[in-house]
Amino acid sequence: MLLAPALATILAVVFIPVINAVLMSFQNYDLRRPSQIRFIGLGNYIAVFKDPLFWQALLKTVIWVSAGVGFQFVFGFMLALLLNRHFFGRGFFRSISLIPWVTPGVLIGLMWRWIFDGNYGVLNDLLSKLGLIENNIPFLAQQSTAFPAVILTIIWQGIPFFALMLLAGLQGIPEELYDAADVDGASLIQRFFMVTVPSLKNTIFITTMLRIIWVANSVDVIFNLTEGGPAYSTQTLSVYVFNKGNALNLGYASTMAILLALALSSVAIPYLKKLFKSQEEAL
Amino acid sequence: MRNERMLRLQRVLRRLLGNILLAALLVFLLFPFYWTFVTSIKPEKELYASVVTYWPKAPTFTSYTRLFTEYNFLKPMLNSLLVAFFTTVISLTVSLLAAYAFSRYRFRGRKFFMTLFLTNNMFPTVLLLIPLFAIMRKAGILYTPTALILSYTTFTIPFSIWLLNGYLDDLPRSLEEAAMVDGANRAQAFLKIIFPMLVPCIIATGAYVFMTAWNEYTFAVMFTNERNRTIPVALKNFIGQLGVEWGMLTAGGIITIIPVCILFFFAQKRLVEGLTAGAVKG
């Protein structure tokens, strides 16, 4: 009964639209040609599988998610541990290190666009002052640098999320566990792997999974940096869906969105199985 | 003796290394904001000069005054606040109940429902956008804050359920069982034992929900009109046909971040207080 309010909301505002989307994926639902909308069976799916841009976007998504979430997690964990020590002004530093995470995606995209700018960008200026480059690099305008640049931006944005969640989790670890490890003569690294990581197992599990899904679906950062360009070099699957949706080809967009959701489920289901197993063991 | 000195030296070095790492991370995380601020107080001429300056030669706040006089930026700020506040309250109430049920009861369909809540987040928001638009229009709540709050809860509730469920699973159930042996019923055990220990996690989750609602752009641009548009939409409006108005945009960005920073500073304090008061201390 505790579930009822959550279920009602979700059913009303999620499942009806999702069913709608599934239906749209079987039609050539293009709002630019509303009179021609009809069922075309698997037509959209066949077209998507023949679309080289779809496969390229899928590959980009895999790189985007693994590099993005991987570095976010490593640096976020580092930050959480560093902020968990006792030092003067800890609360202040905890607060300010979270600011990237409370910043709207639109603003993040635009801020970094200004930093990466080829003419007036501060990154170019810094690199040339350090003597690393001779001529300004138009980071977002050339294919070789645009994708690393957007990945750097998403890493920057996600570090505080992991730091906050892991920091909250760290507080729940009973002090005795560390005392016991000290008695056993554990080194710092041993303490980390024998006490910290196992105690945070569930938190790590859930935060990384949520983050994978979130990053895979995120549109606003890339869209405001590059809109998927130049020459589709930063177009992940979700950005591709968004661009197609913007172009009002809703049938095609829905098809890709459903495929993306299926792909994400294939990542999440082993995760879930493991989670349920560890919960049953805890019983 | 020598061994002890070595140990102390080691500890000092470790501390130093930690501080250097922390400083490097903070510089990386905060520099873009410094740069945004500097941009916002640069006069137009200096913004597009051939030499990049790290502090403006002639700082000016014209962008800020224009923001509130010409663009009436206070209005989108209040709209964002309203939407984010109600989204947070509704999401936390609903998902705390659900997360508790998921964590402490084993019932038929549990896995199914948990998976359901999760898969809901796998759908790109763009996919929900078009059908939701039609539904909101039929219900007659399109272009009201309610439409936004409702659509935000569709992704904040599942997220919160999962986060809170994770925290709850990390709390040993022996705690409330002990209270129930002592004669408390389940509701009492929850309120007296679990809830206080969960406060830091609820704050963390609530902060997450608030920020999601505060920052969301795609739904906001579709479900609002001139009267109730939120901050991200207002910011995006500084991008005109001729290019980006960097001065206005960065000024708007700084104004957006300041209230959130203040809020966070207090949430942070609560977080630490809750931790020291409620944490498992044996």
The answer to whether residue B20 sits within a structural domain is: yes
Please report which confidence band the pLDDT of residue A102 belongs to, taking 50, 70 and 90 as the band edges.
confident
The pLDDT assigned to B277 comes to 36
Residue A57's SS3 state is helix
Other Cβ atoms within 10 Å of B63 Cβ, number: 23
d(Cα A194, Cα A190) in Å, to the nearest integer? 6
Average pLDDT over residues B15-29: 90
The pLDDT assigned to B117 comes to 75
Please report which confidence band the pLDDT of residue B113 belongs to, taking 50, 70 and 90 as the band edges.
confident
The answer to whether residue B59 sits within a structural domain is: no
Nearest to B217 among A104, A122, A188 (CB): A104
The pLDDT assigned to B278 comes to 33
Put simply, the answer to whether A110 touches B249 (Cβ < 8 Å) is yes
Would you say residue A42 has pLDDT above 80? yes
Instruction: List the single best residue of A16, A73, A106 to mutate versus B (max B Cβ within 10 A).
Output: A106
d(Cα A80, Cα A162) in Å, to the nearest integer? 8
- In a shared domain, residues B42 and B73: no
A185: left (phi over 0), alpha (psi -120 to 50) or beta: left
CATH number at residue B164: 1.10.3720.10
Q: How many CB pairs under 8 A join A and B?
A: 281
Domain residue extents for chain A: 30-282
d(Cα B282, Cα B277) in Å, to the nearest integer? 13
d(Cα B256, Cα B278) in Å, to the nearest integer? 33
- In a shared domain, residues B31 and B165: no
Among B20-24, B46-50, B142-146, B247-251, name the one with the lowest average pLDDT: B46-50
Q: Which residue of A has its CA nearest to B47?
A: A120
Here the ipTM equals 0.84
Answer yes or no: are the C-beta atoms of A155 and A72 closer than 8 Å: yes
d(Cα A160, Cα B214) in Å, to the nearest integer? 17
Residue A189, both tokens: 């690294």
The answer to whether residue B247 sits within a structural domain is: yes
- In a shared domain, residues B125 and B35: no
The pLDDT assigned to B272 comes to 45
Q: Which residues contact B164 (CB under 8 A, 6 or more apart)?
A: B95, B96, B99, B100, B198, B201, B202, B205
Among A143-157, A186-200, A264-278, name the one with the lowest average pLDDT: A264-278
The angle subtended at Cα B201 by Cα B111 and Cα B23, nearest 5°, is 120
d(Cα B3, Cα A93) in Å, to the nearest integer? 34
Average pLDDT over residues A78-104: 83
Indicate the residue type of A51.
D
The pLDDT assigned to B79 comes to 92
> pLDDT, tens digit, for every residue of A228-283?
878 888 899 888 888 888 777 888 888 898 898 888 888 878 877 777 776 666 55
Nearest to A2 among B48, B100, B275 (CB): B100
Which secondary structure element, helix H or strand E, spans residue A15, and what is its range? none
Q: Give me the residues of A, 70-109, that contact B with CB < 8 A.
A: 75, 78-79, 82-83, 85, 87, 91-107
- In a shared domain, residues B127 and B249: yes
> pLDDT, tens digit, for every residue of B156-178?
888 788 778 877 877 777 877 88
Q: Which residue of A has its CA nearest to B115?
A: A272
> How far lies A155's CA from each of A144, A150, A161, B31, in Å?
18, 9, 10, 14
A168 shares contact with chain B (CB less than 8 Å):
yes
**Containing structural domain, residue B19:** 2-47
Indicate the residue type of A34.
P
d(Cα B274, Cα B243) in Å, to the nearest integer? 47
B81 shares contact with chain A (CB less than 8 Å):
no
Answer yes or no: are the C-beta atoms of A39 and A26 closer than 8 Å: yes
The answer to whether residue B188 sits within a structural domain is: yes
Please report which confidence band the pLDDT of residue A159 belongs to, taking 50, 70 and 90 as the band edges.
very high
> Residue A24's beta-bridge partner residues?
none
Residue A86's SS3 state is coil
- In a shared domain, residues B97 and B223: yes
d(Cα B78, Cα B75) in Å, to the nearest integer? 5
The pTM of the full predicted model, rounded to 2 decimals, is 0.80
List, as one string, the DSSP characters of B38-107.
HHHTS-HHHHT-SS--SS-SS---HHHHHHHHTS-THHHHHHHHHHHHHHHHHHHHHHHHHHHHHHH---
Mean residue pLDDT of chain A comes to 84
Please report which confidence band the pLDDT of residue A149 belongs to, taking 50, 70 and 90 as the band edges.
very high
Q: Which residue of A has its CA nearest to B222?
A: A246
Average pLDDT over residues B64-76: 86
Task: From A103, A117, A155, select the one nearest B256 (Cα to Cα).
Answer: A103
Put simply, the answer to whether A97 touches B131 (Cβ < 8 Å) is no
- In a shared domain, residues B200 and B105: yes
Please report which confidence band the pLDDT of residue A13 belongs to, taking 50, 70 and 90 as the band edges.
low
- In a shared domain, residues B135 and B202: yes
Percent helix, strand, coil in chain A, to 5, is: 75, 0, 25
Instruction: List the single best residue of B14, B28, B29 to mutate versus A (max A Cβ within 10 A).
Output: B29
| Helices B125-139 and A250-282, packing angle to 10 deg | 100
Q: What is the residue whose two structure tokens read 């005795």?
A: A176
Average pLDDT over residues A51-70: 93
List, as one string, the DSSP characters of B232-263.
HHHHHTTEETTEE-HHHHHHHHHHHHHHHHHH
Please report which confidence band the pLDDT of residue A25 belongs to, taking 50, 70 and 90 as the band edges.
confident
Average pLDDT over residues B17-33: 91
Secondary structure, 3-state, B125-184: HHHHHHHHHHHHHHHCCCCCHHHHHHHHHHHHHHHHHHHHHHHHHHCCCHHHHHHHHCCC
Put simply, the answer to whether A98 touches B249 (Cβ < 8 Å) is no
d(Cα A98, Cα B261) in Å, to the nearest integer? 9
The pLDDT assigned to B1 comes to 59
Answer yes or no: are the C-beta atoms of A209 and A271 closer than 8 Å: yes
Residue B268, both tokens: 């942070």
- In a shared domain, residues B87 and B24: no
> Residue B240's beta-bridge partner residues?
B243
Indicate the residue type of A12.
A
The pLDDT assigned to A2 comes to 66
A9 shares contact with chain B (CB less than 8 Å):
yes
Other Cβ atoms within 10 Å of A227 Cβ, number: 16
The pLDDT assigned to B279 comes to 31
Length of chain A: 283
- Judging contacts by C-beta atoms under 8 Å, the chain B residues touching residue A112 are 32
Would you say residue B62 has pLDDT above 90? no
The pLDDT assigned to A282 comes to 57
Mean residue pLDDT of chain B comes to 81
The answer to whether residue B57 sits within a structural domain is: no
| Helices A52-83 and A237-246, packing angle to 10 deg | 120
Among B27-36, B117-126, B165-174, name the one with the lowest average pLDDT: B117-126
The answer to whether residue B107 sits within a structural domain is: yes
Residue A253, both tokens: 């967009």
Q: Give me the residues of A, 206-235, that contact B with CB < 8 A.
A: 206-207, 209-210, 213-214, 217, 219-220, 224
- In a shared domain, residues B11 and B82: no
Task: From B273, B253, B282, B196, select the one nearest B77 (Cα to Cα).
Answer: B253
Put simply, the answer to whether A6 touches B97 (Cβ < 8 Å) is yes
The answer to whether residue B243 sits within a structural domain is: yes
> How far lies A43's CA from each of A47, A239, A256, in Å?
6, 22, 12
Would you say residue B49 has pLDDT above 50? yes
Q: What is the residue whose two structure tokens read 């964590």?
A: B103
Residue B246, both tokens: 């960097």
Q: Give burial (CB, 10 Å; 0-12/13-18/19+) of A125.
A: middle
The pLDDT assigned to B29 comes to 92
d(Cα B41, Cα A250) in Å, to the nearest integer? 43
The pLDDT assigned to A277 comes to 75
- In a shared domain, residues B102 and B19: no
The answer to whether residue B62 sits within a structural domain is: no
Q: pLDDT over 70 for what percent of chain B? A: 89
d(Cα A268, Cα A278) in Å, to the nearest integer? 15
Fold that domain A30-282 belongs to in CATH: MetI-like fold (1.10.3720)
The pLDDT assigned to B282 comes to 24
Please report which confidence band the pLDDT of residue A63 belongs to, taking 50, 70 and 90 as the band edges.
very high
Total domains, chain B:
2
Indicate the residue type of B6.
M
